[in-house]
Structure 1
């Protein structure tokens, strides 16, 4: 018999949000802490989390699958996509992605 050990990591979001060593006045709701890259990416857990997050995670797969199935995508200038990114928490692309889409022939009736 082979036994697998399962390890679970529990994040104490309450403690992270209210740590006085990290935040000035940790008991106050101050979203401006995260403007312009200030602060860490601890925002959005617990009671301050997005109520639609669970639904969005379920729906995004359907939407992306439908987009890829129904459309052909190409860059506007015909060049390869520049994947250079910033050195930030969110890793934003330096060059914005601009695409053209064209409906695939077999899906035109579905989209009409």
Structure 2
């Protein structure tokens, strides 16, 4: 097996790049991670998710606020189901909504 030797400057540069990348990913996750309770956007990822989304969006006491500006999504207020359950069992992704953001028209 061949080993690659890196200079000290290259190792520092690589470490700096990895740290910056981790920081960007962490900030992105915080920006888009939906709160446990509040205003949330639901987007279907499959055709069956698109059909079941209106029912899921209004279950468990959630209230439908409007459709999103992007097709097939809904803005709801209430408690968020478990993120993994939404994604893997229903094919729906939940995203955080900034106050006054992503609002379309209710239908």
Is the TM-score greater than 0.5? no
Question: Which structure has more helix as a fraction of its residues?
Answer: 2
Which has the higher Rg, Structure 1 or Structure 2? 1
Q: Which has the higher contact order (CA 8 A, sep 6+)?
A: 2
Q: What TM-score comes out, normalization by structure 1 length?
A: 0.28
